[in-house]
Amino acid sequence: MKVCCVIFLVLSCLSCLSQDLAELDRRKGFKDIKLGASIDSIKGAEFKKEALEKNEFPVKVYAVEGDDYKTIGEVKVKKVEVKAYKGQIYEIVVLTSKDTRLMKGMQKSFGKPVYIIPSDTYNWKTDSLSLAFKDHSKNELRLTYRYYRVLKQMQIDKGKKIDQIAEDF
C-alpha cells in the first residue's frame, strides 16, 4: 500500500512539472509576440540593424514598442527586442526592472527552472523553445526566449550551402 502511495505521489509531481512546461509551449513567446511567427505580424516592430547569429547566419534585429509591452503586471519593461531569420522570429529579449515578483510569477506559470552555474542563468526548456532568466545589470533582468525550430533551420541552410559548394567543384 505504501509503495502505491509513493508511486502515485511521484507520478503526480512529474505530471505537474510537465504541465508547467506545457504552459511555456502554449504561450510560445512574450505576450502576443510568438516565436516562429512572421516579423510582419508584430505591431510596433521597428528594424534596428542586421547582425550575424553565431558569426555566420544573417539575421535582422527589431525593437518592439507599444503600450502592451511596457509592463509585466506592475514590473516595468525597459526594452523588447526580437531577432528574425528569413522573416521568422527565433529570439525575443525582454529587459525589465529588477523585481523578485517576476521570478515568482514565472515559477508559478512554468514551474521550477534549472539553474545553470557557468552562465548564472535560470532556464526553462521544452523540445521546441527555451526561456532564460538572468541579471542583466545591477537594476535590470533579462528574459530571453529562443525557438529551436528556426535555429535548426539555420543549420539546415548551412548544410545546403556546403552541398552547393561541393557540387560546384
The ranges assigned to domains in the chain are 2-167
Residue 60 pLDDT > 90, yes or no? yes
Interval 112-129: pLDDT, tens:
999 999 999 999 999 999
Confidence of residue 167 (pLDDT cuts 50, 70, 90): low
- For residue 61, the model assigns a pLDDT of 98
Mean pLDDT taken over the chain: 87
pLDDT average, residue stretch 82-92:
97
Using a pLDDT cut of 70, give the percent of the chain over it. 83
The grid cell for 109 is 506559470
Compute the distance between CA of residue 94 and CA of residue 78 in angstroms, rounded to an integer: 8
Q: Is the model more confident about 2 or about 66?
A: 66
Interacting residues of 109 by C-beta distance below 8 A, sequence separation 6+:
20, 23, 24
- For residue 63, the model assigns a pLDDT of 98
The secondary structure of residue 73, as a DSSP letter, is T
Q: Is the model more confident about 96 or about 158?
A: 96
Q: At what angle do helices 2-27 and 100-110 cross, to 10 degrees?
A: 110
Confidence of residue 20 (pLDDT cuts 50, 70, 90): confident
- For residue 2, the model assigns a pLDDT of 46
